[in-house]
Chain A
Amino acid sequence: MRTLRDAFSFGDLPLVERIGFAIFIMFCTLFPWVTKGSFDQAVMIQFLIFCLYGLGWNLIGGYGGQVALGQAKNVGMSAYTVALLMVWWDIPFWLSTPLGVVVATIESFVLGYFLFRLRGHYFAIATIAVSLVWQQLFINWDLIGGARGVELPLKETPNFLYMQFASPIYYHYFAFLLVLAAILYMNWFRKSRLGYQLRSITSNEEVAESLGINAHWVKVKAYCITGVFAGMGGAFYTVYYNYIDPFSVMHLELSVMIALMTMIGGAGSMWGPIIGAMILIPLDRYLGAWLGGSGIIGVDFMIYALMVMIISAYEPKGIWGIIEKVRARR
């Protein structure tokens, strides 16, 4: 009961944050009804998928202060589990997804158990290395499709069992519900024992350990939760695009994008990943769509990079850092 109360209670947040959250909910709820543009809806769904990834990464990368750059492998593990269960044994989405999430979580646990013996740059490099190894394994593993990836068989739509719809509205609300659940979880998390332990480790690991906190174990637990978020996102990605390959769901670029987005928004803050996704995803997709086909090749990349550089140079704590500064001045 207390857990539920903590998850649903935003009372401790400043009023402006609560209003911001209300606007976010309203925006996501109304979006499919006020926009007719399918591309806008596709961008919105991408935004929600990245919110989910970012909220998960924020746990270990933001609150935990660990630069884990391999979240794509968890996305891929779950995506592949879901896709293969659906293709090989025709197992519906609702059964294959929990299994996909479990696989991603177990991988996080095993890996985290060993990798958290490393610190700082060594840890970051190790996560990248493991992620690349997994990607290469998947590329060369013919049994699971190798580089050709896995394509889900098309079903008559709408099909709730296999999550196949012609209209994006179903995907939108499902992704939105996942993000809402993730936000509620994060709201609980920041007030939980684990949340406090993780932040104390980020502040000073030695002091935290002297207080009886098992830093290694806490980091492993947080890493597993990150795996759950990535796993959910990967499962959703699979049914949304109907096709996965190791380049789409296990690429280092995806891991970097998740981390970058969270850092731009403000790592370690509740809303940082959402703000980061809100800026980077539409920027990337709309610039690509508007300028990519117009013959002005490469300008979209330049604008995108410039935005990232300006934000990073002006406020290393991200957009949320700027908001905090403005609030502190008042």
Chain B
Amino acid sequence: MGTKKERVHPDCVKAAIVAAAIVAVLSMGFGMARAQGQEVKIGVIYPLSGPVAHAGNMSKDAVSLCADYVNNKWPDLPIPIGNWEGIPGLNGAKIKLIFADHRGEPDRGADLAKKLIIDEKVVGICGCYHSSVTKTVSTVCERHKIPMINPESTSPVLTKRGYQWFFRATPHDRIFVRDFFEFLGLLHQGKVPGVKAVPKSELRTIGACTENTEWGAGTRDVIKEFAKQYGYEIVSDVTYPHESPDLTAEVRRLLAPKPDILMFASYISDAILLTKTMKEFKAKAKVFWSQDVGFYQPKYIETFGNDTEGILNRTVFSKKLFAVKPVAKNINVEFKKRSGVDFMGTSARAFTGMQAWAYVLNEAGSTDPEAIRKTAETIEIPGKDLIVPWKGIKFEDVGGETNQNTWSSGLIVQYQAQEPEIIYPLDVATAKFVYPWPGLK
């Protein structure tokens, strides 16, 4: 077929052989096995760089602190892990965390999960903050039959896929949004301390503003569903591109119909930009509620100070819990010493997720993935051992969901003098509800 047969020069053949040898040696170098000691490796995947690095690094600090509690004796800590020196059920094996940075990219997360599972030989995975990344990482875990405990991703879909190796500790967005509408119901009935019954005609319209990734889109769907179910009207429904450089048009559209209730789902950089833009518009409404995350981070309070007054957040943690949960106060002191900030919703859940890992490994008494999975399916971690105000941790299959922690629950907090006061559930409320929201001046 060729126009002319060419003789390959012997030097070229030699060069090709040498090159092939170099390629083979280099390739082998990539896959060198790593030695294992008396430790249990857990892979932790978080966004450690990029726009939500702040949340990722707080979670990293939280899981590291939990591992430290498990690995070393802390006599002053009034929960079982304080007395551990390693995992008792595994003959004192220490937890070794291997961190990976997914930058908020689902495909990078999946590749890193493979690295942790196959190359690092971790017994399980913890993470990943973004619901979209949790999706791909949990798929890798499911394929490789490695357990994954997810402390903080709240997209309802995650536990509706029938995955057997995926366990979610946090309540999800459906639960959080439902809590808020039930709170509104109590407000109408006049049962919320500090406020007389608010007639439904006064609090009837909703302006929803959600970012446009997996998490925001999921929240938006649930808001629409519950608004309809509870008889509210959505007058503005704004979605905006995550990490947008300008949100003026979106804020204008959100505020134009003058909604009574503002509902948000935003990551930190977006939450800051949204609030700054709304401040320019002197935004007013009667209730301002957000889905934790961006609006419930130390950086947010630092940036806006007194402008945060009256903003409601769904969360699972507040410093105000210290009064009823001394263990949370105790652990928070150490956390603040190391990371410079108090626990917030995300970091508290990360700590709890790692704590769940420690309890599961201890009870399983084995690093065999199947044994760990079976233990996770049956374990009951009492609420008194946790820093979050839950009944505890129990992964169950209910209502079409698989391995969702049915003992978890949410809180609604309100910033009052820059402190997150608990408003709901009413039995643990630490302050009277400030109504209406003072607005942004």
Q: List residues of A whose CB falls within 8 A of some B CB.
A: 5, 8-9, 11, 15, 19, 22-23, 26-27, 30-31, 34-43, 46, 136, 139-140, 146-149, 151, 154, 157, 166, 168, 237, 241-243, 245, 247-248, 285, 288-289, 292-295, 297-298, 300-301
For chain B, give the interface size range: 35 or more
Chain A residue nearest to B157 (CB atoms) is A148
| B49 engages A298 (CB within 8 Å) | yes
A57 CB to nearest B CB, Å = 19
Q: Does B115 contact A (CB under 8 A)?
A: yes
Residues of B within 8 A of A293 (CB): 48, 98-101
B125 CB to nearest A CB, Å = 13
A168 to B100, CA, bound (A): 20
Given contacts A148-B217, A166-B143, are A248 and B107 in contact (CB under 8 A)? Answer: yes
Interface residues of B in 230-268 (CB under 8 A from A): 239, 241-242
Residues of B within 8 A of A166 (CB): 143-144
A136 CB to nearest B CB, Å = 8
Q: List residues of B whose CB falls within 8 A of some A CB.
A: 1-4, 6, 8-9, 12, 15-16, 19-20, 23-24, 27-28, 30-33, 48-49, 53, 57, 98-101, 103, 105-108, 110-112, 114-115, 117-119, 132, 135-136, 139, 142-144, 155, 157, 161, 163, 212-214, 216-218, 239, 241-242
Given contacts A42-B114, A154-B142, A297-B49, are A37 and B31 in contact (CB under 8 A)? Answer: yes
Given contacts A8-B1, A31-B27, are A38 and B119 in contact (CB under 8 A)? Answer: yes
A5 to B53, CA, bound (A): 53
A26 to B17, CA, bound (A): 10
Most buried by B among A35, A298, A301: A35
Which single member of A11, A41, A149, A242 contacts B2 (CB below 8 Å)? A11
Q: In terms of DSSP, what is the predominant structure of the interface of chain B? A: helix
A123 CB to nearest B CB, Å = 24
Residues of B within 8 A of A39 (CB): 111-112, 114-115, 118-119
Residues of A within 8 A of B119 (CB): 36-39
A14 CB to nearest B CB, Å = 11
Q: List 15 A-B contacts (CB under 8 A).
A: A19-B12, A34-B27, A38-B117, A43-B111, A136-B241, A147-B214, A148-B217, A151-B161, A157-B143, A243-B136, A245-B106, A289-B101, A292-B48, A293-B100, A297-B48
Residues of A within 8 A of B112 (CB): 39, 289
A288 CB to nearest B CB, Å = 6
5 smallest beta-carbon distances between A and B, as pairs: A292-B101, A39-B115, A38-B118, A36-B31, A293-B99
Residues of B within 8 A of A154 (CB): 139, 142-143, 163
Given contacts A8-B1, A154-B139, A288-B108, are A30 and B27 in contact (CB under 8 A)? Answer: yes
Residues of A within 8 A of B110 (CB): 42, 241
| A38 engages B213 (CB within 8 Å) | no
Which single member of A11, A140, A146, A292 contacts B103 (CB below 8 Å)? A292
Residues of A within 8 A of B139 (CB): 151, 154, 241-243
| A11 engages B6 (CB within 8 Å) | yes
A11 to B5, CA, bound (A): 9
Chain B residue nearest to A286 (CB atoms) is B30
